[in-house]
Amino acid sequence: MLSVGIDLVEIERIKKSVQNPRFCGRVLGGSEYSQLALRGFPVQSVAASFSAKEAFSKALGTGLRGFSMNEVELLREPGGKPYLKLSGNALRIARERNLVFSVSVTHTRAYAAVVVIGQEETK
């Protein structure tokens, strides 16, 4: 079984949100926040993180219900490959549905887009 979620967000919309100091703390998970803080919270990357949470919720099939946005973190391996780190209810729901996720991220000056693919985990 495969499930797909996609999201596209306008960078300008996130730029306005980032001006509210509580936005990053509410939306970003701890590791994600730290990675972005080291880079000065580049708005394109914050937008990609936001978009990843939306795309994940679509691939999971719940929408943004049942978990907090900061329980879904868009992180990068040392080589730059993106991955999702789940915690709390997001992790619980994914495990209940026996799903593992892959993520792809891109952005331009105006938009950030993310595709998340959920696949039934084989044991």
The residues carrying an active-site annotation are 58, 107
Query: 57 with 103: CB under 8 angstroms?
Result: no
Helix (H, G, I), strand (E, B), or coil: what is residue 10?
strand
Question: How far apart, in whole angstroms, are the C-alpha atoms of residue 6 and residue 56?
Answer: 8
How many separate helices (H) and strands (E) can be counted in the chain? 5, 5
- The total of other beta-carbon atoms located within 10 Å of residue 37's CB is 11
Query: 84 with 116: CB under 8 angstroms?
Result: yes
**For residue 37, what are its two tokens?**
């803080």
Q: Which helix (H) or strand (E) holds 12?
A: helix 11-18
